[in-house]
Amino acid sequence: MFTAVVATVGAIFGYMSGATQANAGLYKNNAAIKKTEASNQWNYYQAKSGKQNLAELALELIPTTKREFYEGEIKRYKAEKADIKKEAEKMEAEAKVWDQRSDTEIHQHHRWAQATTLLQVSIALAAIALLTRKRWLLKCMYALAAAGAVVGLLATLHI
Q: With cut-offs at 50, 70 and 90, classify the pLDDT of residue 142.
A: very high
> Which residue has better confidence, 129 or 66?
129
The full set of domain ranges for the chain reads 2-156
Q: Give pLDDT, residue 59.
A: 87
Instruction: Give the model's confidence band at 1: pLDDT under 50 very low, under 70 low, under 90 confident, else very high.
Output: confident
Using N-to-C axis directions, what is the helix angle for 2-61 and 67-132, rounded to 10°?
Answer: 170
Q: Annotate 59-91 with DSSP letters as a single string.
A: HHHS-GGGHHHHHHHHHHHHHHHHHHHHHHHHH
Query: Distance between CA atoms of 138 and 84, rounded to whole angstroms?
Result: 65
Residue 62 has pLDDT above 90, yes or no: no
**Distance (Å, whole) CA 19 – CA 155:** 12
Strand, helix or coil for residue 134:
coil
Q: Is the pLDDT of residue 3 over 90?
A: no
Whole-prediction pTM value? 0.76
